[in-house]
A and B are shown apart, each in its own frame.
Chain A
Amino acid sequence: MARKTPVLKVTNLKKAFGPVVIVDGFSLDVAAGEAVALTGRNGAGKSTVLRCLVGADRPDEGTVEVNGTRVSETSPEVRRDVATVIDDLDFFPDLSVVEHLDLLARAHGVPDPDAAVDEVLHEVQLVPQSGQLPSTLSSGQLRRLALATAFIRPRKLLVLDEPEQRLDTEGVEWLADRLAAERQRGLAIVMASHDPTLVQKVATRVIRLGDRAEVLADE
């Protein structure tokens, strides 16, 4: 069956830190409604690939395109289409949980921001913490807030780096269901994960990164 037009197209990606080559010749197409899981041991290059996909790191060679636009971290089109949860997410120290979500919803022009914020807050179970400042949240709550920032806004591609980190068992189950639903609604997802349950529930393709990328499963 012919694949759909890719939302994300990665061609011959190479990234090295000094003499250490992390990934070389990595190519990937992700269409709408597809979810790709990157797996592999620590240091295999999963996070590096994801950082290159969202423009946080610049690849040494190769190209990354989202909907035909060359990825640049500062491009407003890429910022509009790609929602990310990777390690470098920062928060305003003086804005509460609910204010962060409200600000993002309004910045993205969500039609009914109040309702959207309420819904996401309930979903990530941060209603009791809605008035708290980020520095007082636990690491698990911070992870939920980071996920909420991705779910509150319109998106075509979701890039997640080990989204299950610091979540409790219930939280991982919720996340798996949510991501599976997102995929079924036509969202493209690329995630790095060590959690077999999450990968099994969400991914349509699994790529194990190591000495060379290897496709483990493809729907």
Chain B
Amino acid sequence: MSKKSRKLIRSTPLADEIAAEGDLDAPVEPERTFFFLPEQPPLDVDEGELHALMKLWRHGRATRTIGQVVQDSYVMLFSVVMIGAMIISVVLRAQAGMAGCTTEDCASGRLLVPTAMVLACYAVALGVARLFGPVLASAAEGFWLMDAPISRRRLLRGRLVLPLLLSFLVAGLATALVAALSGLGWLQVLAWSGAAAFGSAGLVSFAAAEQTRERVVVVKALQAVFAAAALAVLLLVVSVAAGWLPVAVLAEAGTIAWVFAVVAALGLVGMVVMLRLTLSRLEEIRRARLVSGGSLVAGMQGAMFALDFGLIRDILVERRMAEKGHVRPTRGRGLGLGALVWRDVERLKRQPSAFLGLGMSLFVPYAVDALRMSPLNPLISGLALVAGLVPFLGSLRVLSRTGGLARTFPFKTAQLRTATMAVPAALALVWGLAATPAFVGIASSGADRSLVNGLSAALITALAGLMGAVRWVTAKKVDYQTPMMATSSGALPPGLIFNLFRGLDMVALITAPLILQLPAYWSLVIGLVVFWALRGSFNMSDLQAEQEQARRELAAAKEGRAAEKQKIPRPGR
């Protein structure tokens, strides 16, 4: 914090000080320094000065110095430093351990896993850049500053740096972590993470250049290509681990670090070129395009503060639908609950990309089995299925988030929820059948488990994934009126903490007996109980209200009886 700001904080009177000064003089008329002069040209505006002024105002609103903030949160900072040191230590040891592994499986994994990570970083960088802008402005800036006769280029050029820096750091660090854990040498780690960092930054600057021309087609196509390539490489990893491909060819290719060094260099060059191009076009970006990214960030920030991931998804879905704008209407079929189910069937045609997610989740049980982690397969695959099924539970989400729409349908809540779960349940069933070979052990041990055991494990995992997804989309918002929990970060409502685990809790609960090697029917029983609870068979708020009403009626009846007793005339003597 600058000296100027500190001075400003100290000099800002506190509210109680202001209140104490009761005998304030009569308000002084401010000296007018600005008049509307239509005849004269406006003065030149320095955007740098404007920014400095805004920064000064923001600092002026601060009530605590950075020192005070650090002092208050020292426990958390200390924990972060400790945990960070532990993670780094674990990574270093794992890297040393993995580097010692000289089998062909290890060598191929060492090459392929970081490569998949680099490609995934490219896809994510492009996706996020397209979603937010990448150049964006807040609603206040859009309304107040961009209406003024100032240079948009000079105002926005700083905005380009942040997404580039973020993509550079996140992609670089994530890939470095994966590459180190795969057992690559430190120079190779540098090559792979450099390729991810510079390549992602270059792609973000390309997305920014496209944003100035309001084009998304190429960015979307590139994103799809990188995502497909990452998936293909991951499939290759599983195939090699399962012994379906000759590993020798891949293992020999482990010395291609220089290719990634070249990719990093190309990324750097691309970033510089695109950055210059974007800077020259910044003046042309429409305000609406900039502000929409800013409002999206603001909405998502609000949702993140409540850890409401469902709301974040709602915001994204709403935005995608607003971009789409129009659909070719289809005629419904059936009456009653059947109409709701049929509408969900019709919806499947509208969201082919959701099938990609579901397909990718199907890849997880095979990967887990190939990595010889079969005991944990139900839990890990169940969680992957949660992510794969959430996009298919759109109706349930809308009918659960507010009562308004559910009120328009003449059904019980349990009936509505069951109807909206029907199509996702059918998809989960298909997923379970398709995942059965992985649970039989086809990728690890050549199908050494019985088909019945594999099938029951796969179907229970599918049930766990479905229930996890239902729990995720139907969870209620955080209630800030409930008693708070004391934490090192201050008082928090309990719902805020549980939001982190929603979905995960149901999967863990249902798959626990399988992981603990108990008979599968235990999981089935737990799954059915969870289904009964999640479909809204009992409504806790209704029960509480009935209880409260009964209590009030009882109290009123008691009062009435007491009054009657008082009226009884006593016989005189």
Q: Is A138 an interface residue (CB 8 A)?
A: no
In the complex, whether A135 has a CB less than 8 A from a CB of chain B is yes
Give which listed residue, B327, B332, B403, B542, contacts A103 with CB less than 8 A: B332
Question: Which single residue of chain B is at the shortest CB-CB distance from A111?
Answer: B335
Contact flags B329-359 to A (C-beta < 8 A → 1, else 0): 1111111110110010001001100000000
Contact call B405/A89, Cβ cutoff below 8 A: yes
Query: What are 22 A-B residue pairs whose CB atoms fall within 8 Å in the complex?
Result: A74-B406, A74-B413, A74-B539, A79-B406, A84-B408, A86-B404, A90-B398, A90-B401, A92-B394, A92-B398, A95-B343, A99-B330, A103-B340, A104-B408, A106-B333, A107-B340, A114-B331, A133-B322, A133-B324, A135-B322, A135-B325, A136-B322
Q: What's the minimum C-beta distance from A74 to chain B, rounded to whole angstroms?
A: 5
CB distance from A178 to the nearest CB of B (A): 18
Within 8 A of B (CB), among A63-116: 72-74, 76, 79-80, 82-84, 86, 88-96, 98-99, 102-104, 106-109, 113-114
Contact A130/B336 with A56-B407, A89-B404, A153-B408 known, Cβ cut-off 8 Å? no
> Is the contact region of chain B dominated by helix, strand, or loop, or is it mixed?
helix
Chain B residues, Cβ within 8 Å of A136? 322, 325-326
Judged by a CB distance under 8 angstroms, whether A47 is at the interface is no
In angstroms, how far is the closest chain A Cβ from the Cβ of B402? 5
Which residues of the other chain, B, contact A114 by a CB distance below 8 angstroms? 331
Instruction: Give how many A-B residue pairs fall within 8 Å (CB-CB).
Output: 125
Question: Is there contact, CB below 8 Å, between B412 and A90?
Answer: no
The answer, among B347, B405, B545, for a CB contact under 8 Å with A91, is B405
Instruction: Knowing A79-B408, A102-B332, A149-B408, say if A72 contacts B542 (CB, 8 Å).
Output: yes
Using A58-B545, A90-B401, A133-B324 as known contacts, say yes or no to A107 and B329 having CB atoms under 8 A apart: no
- CB of A108 within 8 A of CB of B331, answer no
Residues in B with CB closer than 8 Å to A149 are 408
Interface residues on B, range: 35 or more
Asked whether any CB of chain B lies closer than 8 Å to the CB of A54, the reply is yes
Give A117-154 as 1s and 0s: 1 = Cβ < 8 Å from B's Cβ atoms.
00000000000001111111000000000000100010
Q: Which residues of A contact B410 (CB under 8 A)?
A: 76, 79-80, 107-108
Assembly CA distance A38 to B552 (angstroms)? 29
Q: How far is the CA of A99 from the CA of B347 in the complex (A)?
A: 11
Residues of chain B within 8 A of A195, CB atoms compared: none
Number of A residues near B (Cβ < 8 Å) is: 44
Is A177 interfacial (CB 8 A cutoff)? no
CB–CB A133/B326 < 8 A: yes
| Contact A93 B317, beta carbon cutoff 8 Å | yes
Q: Which residue of A lies closest to B541 (CB)?
A: A58
Q: Which residues of A contact B317 (CB under 8 A)?
A: 93-94
Q: Does B318 contact A (CB under 8 A)?
A: yes
Chain B residue numbers with a CB within 8 Å of A54 are 407
Q: Mark B7-45, 1 if CB is under 8 A from A, else 0.
A: 000000000000000000000000000000000000000
Chain A contacts for B4, CB-based, 8 A: none
- The answer to whether B339 and A107 have CB atoms under 8 Å apart is yes
| Chain A residues with CB below 8 A from B403, complex form | 56, 73, 88
Give Cα A98 to B230, complex, Å: 40
A61 close to chain B: CB less than 8 A: yes
Sample of 8 more A-B contacts, CB < 8 Å, known A54-B407, A94-B350, A130-B329 = A74-B406, A74-B542, A79-B406, A91-B398, A94-B321, A95-B343, A106-B336, A107-B339
Instruction: Given A76-B411, A79-B410, verify A98-B329 contact (CB < 8 Å).
Output: yes
